[in-house]
Structure 1
Amino acid sequence: MKKLNLTFFILLSFYVNAQQDAVNYNMWYQYLLNAKVSDKMTLTTLAQYRSFDLLLDSRLFVAVGYLDYSISNKVTVGAGGMFLNLESYGRNGEKRERTERRALQQINLNDRIGRTKLTHRFRIEERFLNNPNTFVVRLRYLTSFKIPLNKSDQQQVNYAIVKNEIRMAARRERPFDSNRITVGLGYNVSKNSAVEVALISQLSEFRTSNYLHLGFRNSFDWRKKKVE
């Protein structure tokens, strides 16, 4: 545990030092709510804000909502939508703002390797962007590991996060969009709440963007209790 924490803070120091040589720090703030609404269905909502600096120089705002339906203990299918407000700097140093509306469909395959939770997520997105008006179909494949850091006979409090996601355009001469790698730590504040800190590196064809991620998540059970 101490070695893992030391490794994480070394990576964090490296990230900050590297970003001091760049134009921005690239922060990533996120809130996620996950709620069981029936025995078969789960609602997920997410709000995300990214900035070029610590907070004020906005880069991206995202609002997401989707429902997952459980086919079995290990397989879920889902659908939902997103709204995004994107801001980027051009070569002349001026900011350009775009909005995007996105539909999504996905399938999740859940498994375990020992005590480690493993998830494969396959997602299709239909992206409608403006300024200029563009339509893109994108394919995403995410592999996610949630690794408990406590002993097997103790309540899980701390955990490690490792993720890798590949994103591809469905119809394009150069289909590669980006590859996103996440390494982080989580802490369960309570039964229903957790905070997460992670380093995210997003590699695209022409550039690499690095982020310090700060997240908070809630998990609830909104199913109606049966009256005995």
Structure 2
Amino acid sequence: MKFLIYFLSIFLLSVGVKAQTEKNIKNQSLLWTRYYNQLDLNNKWSVHTEIDNRVFINSVTQNTLVGRIQLRDKVTDKIELGVGFDYFSVATQDPEIINGFHIPEYRAQQDVTVKQSLGKINLSHRYMIEERFVHNSSKLMLEEGTTFYLRFRYRIQGDYTFWKNEKQYLKGIVHDELMINGGNKIIKNTFDQNRIYGALQFGVNKSIAMEFGYLNSFQQRASGVDYFARDIIRFSFIHKVKI
């Protein structure tokens, strides 16, 4: 609870600061497509892998390619722990600016997810820490070394099952996620971004599900006055496998 209060306090502070400063907001539209695999080793342990391709829609341009892997431990029915590694290859953050090279980023991540039920609604609270190593670069080329950043993330998510039978189901998903930057390299953008997401997930059978959703992302850049407001269409192919 103290952790959540800390996040909300920083978020409200950042909103107050932003309200007093000029904002340069760039609107962008993207399409995210991902393959998500959940390999259940037993009733307690599972391995989750993900490939996520992100492209700009207006002037179709590569944004980012993401690869993730994590090990998850189902401690109880209400608590899960996760540890993982991410690789990001960033082509550009603006389709009008093409660098001609991709910027690698390597992340370690740890999270605690707490689940609860409110009637027919399933809620989850995810508390995550990311250690980010971003490859140094100029406008012309990659340079030697990496820069280290911390990021703290809190996500509250709810889902509601509209109907289900023995093999299939249809459910709605909504979540809101707040991200806060940390580390001595962060000067003007302690607030990183907020993401709001809504989706429908259809279980084709016991192993395969499809998810189609919309994500709104509002992100502050390092300058403190520049922002990305992104409208994102997200399509996911979810594959569950049991050993």
TM-score when scaled to structure 1? 0.80
**C-alpha displacement at 1:89, in angstroms?**
5.0
Deviations 1:28-85 (A, max 9, x none): 0011111211232111111100001289521111000001112211111111101110
Question: 1:212 is matched with which residue?
Answer: 233
Q: Does structure 2 conserve the Cα–Cα contact (< 8 Å) formed by 1:27 and 1:54? A: no
2:130 paired residue number: 125
Number of residue-to-residue matches in the alignment: 199
SS, match of residue 207 in structure 1: strand
What are the within-5 Å matches in structure 2 for residues 122-161 of structure 1?
Answer: 122-132=127-137, 133-150=146-163, 154=165, 157-161=169-173
Change (3 A) 1:52 1:221: same
Q: Which has the higher contact order (CA 8 A, sep 6+)?
A: 2
Amino acid of the structure 1 residue aligned with 2:190: P
**Structure 2 equivalent of residue 106 of structure 1:** 111
Write the letter of the residue equivalent to 1:157: Y
The residue type equivalent to 2:205 in the other structure is S
8 A contact 2:162–2:170 mirrored in 1? yes
Counterpart of 1:198?
213
Q: Distance in 2 between matches of 1:114 and 1:55?
A: 45
Matches within 5 A, 1:56-95: 57-88=61-92, 93-95=97-99
Q: Which runs of 5+ in 2 are unaligned?
A: 1-25, 138-145, 221-226
CA distance, structure 2, for counterparts of residue 60 and residue 146 of structure 1: 28
- Percent of pairs with identical residues: 23
Question: How many angstroms apart in 1 are the aligned matches of 2:84 and 2:117?
Answer: 26
**Residue 39 of structure 2 is aligned to residue 35 of structure 1:** yes
Q: TM-score, normalised by structure 2?
A: 0.75
Q: CA RMSD in A?
A: 2.3
Whether contact under 8 Å (2:27, 2:230) holds in the other structure is no
Greater CA drift, 53-62 or 80-89? 53-62
Structure (1/2) with the larger strand percentage: 2
Q: Partner letter of residue 173 of structure 2?
A: I
Q: Does the 8 A contact of 1:27 with 1:213 survive in 2?
A: yes
- Map of 1:176 onto structure 2: 191
Q: Deviations over 1:121-153 (max 9, x none)?
A: 1111110011333110111111111211127xx
